[in-house]
């Protein structure tokens, strides 16, 4: 690494290599717990605007829920945070997204490396057609980390799956139940030790028992990771999140506050209407 290059944090050598220096001004110090921040983020698909001037600061080691009616831009927002929208030809963004003060859209940032720091879990569990062991090993391999049995076990334990699969690590991940597959995907996402785990409706394809296990797991994951979760289930947002961001039609972030305030005393009437089921 050359001298003018820096990494997002000292523990994550060679993840995001950029010559952009982290922002260490007083302004950023005052928001020391912010891990990811957007300013005036606008996203367009062709001529259609999906996000409208979204500014938000998301704190570290907490669960932030994104809620709102269908089509209001929640998934689009999530995908902006790890540059998955780069993969959509007609998507265009303006505004800024910073991870620990570094502009993730800077030319010096490698999007593939960024996605290792910001892992993602999708609505439908998507394990690879490989063994349970290899699914998790993949998470290590892409980061160039040594694959050891200890690391595989650690990731599976962190995903609350180890006890159920420890005697069948050679079995295909596809043979697990839906809930187990989703926890395997979480193990794969956390194996490279990311900063943030993005979850796009991770329980909506699961039965209530499996969903409840994932909720318990999220509660444990925030001790080590920041979790940002899109959910259509307002009870779930109320149960598991510390902060809730409410998006409404047109891609506007209407209100963002601690979850208790959003659900018990929202400032915006439209949020109250949405929460109480008057629309959406």
Ligand X SMILES: Nc1ncnc2c1ncn2[C@@H]1O[C@H](COP(=O)(O)OP(=O)(O)OP(=O)(O)O)[C@@H](O)[C@H]1O
Q: Which residues are near ligand X by CB under 6 A?
A: 45, 50, 68, 70-76, 88, 90
Judge whether 43 and 51 are in contact, CB under 8 Å.
yes
Judge whether 65 and 259 are in contact, CB under 8 Å.
yes
> In this complex, which beta carbon is closest to ligand X, that of residue 166 or of residue 279?
279
- Nearest approach in angstroms of CB 204 to ligand X is 10
- Nearest approach in angstroms of CB 197 to ligand X is 17
- Nearest approach in angstroms of CB 72 to ligand X is 4
- Nearest approach in angstroms of CB 91 to ligand X is 7
- Nearest approach in angstroms of CB 115 to ligand X is 17
Scored b (16 or more CB within 10 A) or e, 164-184 reads ebeeebeeebbebeebbbbbb
> In this complex, which beta carbon is closest to ligand X, that of residue 68 or of residue 202?
68
> In this complex, which beta carbon is closest to ligand X, that of residue 201 or of residue 215?
201
The two tokens of residue 29 are 């110090």
**DSSP H or E stretch at residue 164:** helix 162-165
- Nearest approach in angstroms of CB 9 to ligand X is 29
> In this complex, which beta carbon is closest to ligand X, that of residue 46 or of residue 129?
46
> In this complex, which beta carbon is closest to ligand X, that of residue 37 or of residue 252?
252
Token pair 């709102």: residue: 68
Tell me how far apart the alpha carbons of residues 3 and 113 are, in angstroms, rounded to a whole number. 19
Judge whether 191 and 127 are in contact, CB under 8 Å.
no
> In this complex, which beta carbon is closest to ligand X, that of residue 61 or of residue 123?
123
SS3 label, residue 33: coil
Beta strands in the chain (DSSP E): 6-7, 17-18, 34-45, 48-59, 63-67, 91-99, 102-103, 118-121, 196-200, 226-230, 243-248, 252-258
Tell me how far apart the alpha carbons of residues 99 and 53 are, in angstroms, rounded to a whole number. 18
């Amino acid at each position: 690494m050359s001298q003018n290059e820096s990494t997002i944090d000292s523990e994550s050598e060679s993840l995001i290599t950029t010559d952009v220096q982290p922002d260490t001004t007083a302004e950023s110090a005052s928001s020391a717990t912010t891990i990811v921040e957007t300013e005036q983020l606008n996203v367009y698909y062709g001529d259609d605007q999906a996000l409208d001037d979204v500014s938000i600061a998301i704190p570290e080691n907490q669960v932030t829920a994104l809620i709102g009616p269908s089509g209001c831009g929640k998934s689009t927002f999530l995908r902006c945070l790890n540059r998955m929208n780069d993969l959509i030809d007609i998507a265009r963004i303006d505004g800024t997204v910073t991870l620990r003060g570094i502009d993730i859209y800077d030319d010096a940032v490698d999007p593939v490396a960024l996605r290792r720091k910001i892992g993602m879990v999708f609505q439908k569990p998507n394990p690879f057609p490989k063994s349970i062991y290899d699914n998790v090993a993949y998470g290590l391999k892409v980061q160039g980390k040594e694959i050891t049995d200890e690391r595989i076990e650690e990731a599976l334990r962190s995903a609350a799956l180890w006890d159920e699969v420890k005697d069948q690590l050679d079995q295909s991940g596809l043979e697990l139940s839906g809930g187990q597959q989703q926890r395997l995907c979480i193990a794969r996402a956390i194996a490279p030790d990311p900063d943030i785990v993005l979850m796009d409706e991770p329980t909506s394809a699961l039965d209530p028992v499996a969903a409840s296990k994932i909720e318990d797991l999220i509660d444990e994951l925030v001790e080590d990771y920041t979790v940002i979760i899109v959910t259509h289930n307002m009870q779930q947002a109320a149960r598991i999140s510390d902060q809730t961001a409410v998006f409404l039609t047109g891609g506007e972030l209407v209100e963002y506050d601690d979850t208790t305030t959003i659900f018990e005393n929202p400032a915006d009437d439209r949020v109250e209407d949405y929460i109480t089921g008057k629309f959406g």
